[in-house]
Amino acid sequence: MVRHSAKASELWKSLPWKKFRANLFRLQKRVFKAVRVGDKRKARSLQKLILKSKAARFLAIRQVTQLNAGKNTAGIDGKTALTHEERFNLEVLLRQQDWYHNKLRMIPIPKKDGSIRYLKIPTIADRAWVRFVV
């Protein structure tokens, strides 16, 4: 999607974020109303429409890479931040319907009783996929 990396930051900043939020919220309201009425077929088709939505993909990537408090936490790939060009590439990757998640980074955390609990951290791409789907 992005041919010139110098213009990627300008393209990312100039995306219509307000319009994306409004479109996604409108679709989510329609899903809610369909479920409330009991029209499962309509709700399912609207959910599929959200999965194909460009707005949902871009908002998920923005939430994971810019807005979340844990945005600087690295996964197994070691990436803490994405460039604007990498964000556009991630959007293309999320467009594909078959998703295979990467391994999780496991951090041991000692508990009070002396045992160890593992904190499992996904990669940025996996976090964006989960945010996009859910």
For the stretch 38-80, pLDDT in tens is 999 999 999 989 888 889 889 988 888 887 777 777 777 777 7
Per-residue tokens: 94: 């999320």
Per-residue tokens: 104: 């999780």
**Cα–Cα distance for residue pair 74/64, rounded to 1 Å:** 12
pLDDT recorded at residue 97: 65
What average pLDDT does range 124-134 have in this prediction?
75
pTM (2 decimals)?
A: 0.75
- Of 80, 54, 49, the closest CA to residue 65 belongs to 80
Does residue 105 have a pLDDT over 60?
yes
Q: What is the mean pLDDT of the chain?
A: 83
Contact 129, 94 (CB under 8 A): yes
Does residue 1 have a pLDDT over 60?
no
